[in-house]
Amino acid sequence: MDSADSAPRRLSVDRSSLAHRLRYALGHPERIAPHLRRGARDLWLRARHRDHVAYYRAVMASDTARSPEAAVGSRDHRRWLALGKLQFDYLRDHGLAPGHRMLDIGCGNLRAGWRFIDYLDPGGYYGIDISPDILIGAKETLSRNGLQAKLPHLTLTHDLTFDFLPTGHFDVVHAHSVFSHSPLPVIGECLANVGRILAPGGFFDFTFDRTEGREHQVLREDFYYRAETLTALAAEHGLAARLMDDWERLPHGQSKIRVTAPSPEGER
């Protein structure tokens, strides 16, 4: 789910605490039953899928069966369009160019992806996702928008090692609302491998649910991290990372970090 539809950031809140859950339930009684149903479903799925990626693939299958747009965190089609435009406009204004080659991690049903595909030169877009169900939705979005001639790649993956992708190929790597649903080992796997596939001068932008308090998770679906934890993890893998302050001012519930690989030795 995408926290973009949520209220303004409350960075000190521990959403896993009993006190917060009780206050939230008292303030939103209409959401108690749906939350309990979701919790019961997630317990059942976790019992069947011990690996986090397999578990979250099952979550996406369940959510996509009801609505592909809701599965990527949009409460209605208008919001789906608005959030896709927000992602596209920001990336276009912060370095994305038509001639770039872009990898979109967790591309979903192309909420922003169809705009990237339309903007980039043919063959410039490569989208990956762990969910075969949502990739069917992506194909439908592609067809609905008449973008077949742009020849985008849409590929199922089971991890973030990028072992099937070429070295130094992508000018831009993008992951929106992926790390907000990922435990730290999954994020570490991505950061350990993304530097290999970045082209010289390339960058990797990702969003995450930020906290300035205790790091925590809710239902093993939503994970809250301090920015320093993720920038330090990037540094462990030789990557420079910084919080994108201007993104914080946009109407979106998550924060954004940009990661860059150091230039080759001796290059100015």
The residue among 267 and 180 whose pLDDT is bigger is: 180
pTM: 0.85
Question: Going from the N-terminus, what domains does the chain have, and what CATH number goes with each?
Answer: 3-260 (3.40.50.150)
pLDDT (mean) for 95-102: 98
The residue among 15 and 43 whose pLDDT is bigger is: 43
Q: What residues are paired with 155 via a beta bridge?
A: 128
Specify whether the backbone of 179 is left (phi greater than 0), alpha (psi in -120 to 50) or beta.
alpha
pLDDT in tens, 151-178: 999 999 999 999 999 999 999 999 999 9
pLDDT in tens, 129-144: 999 999 999 999 999 9
pLDDT greater than 60 at residue 218: yes
**Which amino acid is present at 256?**
K
The residue among 145 and 71 whose pLDDT is bigger is: 145
Neighbours of 39 (CB within 10 A): 13
The predicted structure's pLDDT at residue 268: 40
Average pLDDT over the chain reads 87
The predicted structure's pLDDT at residue 87: 96
The predicted structure's pLDDT at residue 62: 82
Please, which pLDDT band fits residue 43 given cuts at 50, 70 and 90? confident
CB-CB contact of 137 with 106 (8 Å): no
The predicted structure's pLDDT at residue 16: 67
The residue among 241 and 29 whose pLDDT is bigger is: 241
Please, which pLDDT band fits residue 203 given cuts at 50, 70 and 90? very high
CA-CA distances (angstroms) from residue 202 to 120, 125, 189, 196? 16, 15, 19, 11
Please, which pLDDT band fits residue 36 given cuts at 50, 70 and 90? confident
Worst-scoring range by mean pLDDT, 72-81, 183-192, 194-203, 251-260?
72-81
The answer for residues whose C-beta is within 8 angstroms of residue 29's C-beta and 6 or more apart is none
The predicted structure's pLDDT at residue 1: 41
Cα–Cα distance measured from residue 206 to residue 232, given in angstroms and rounded to the nearest whole number: 15
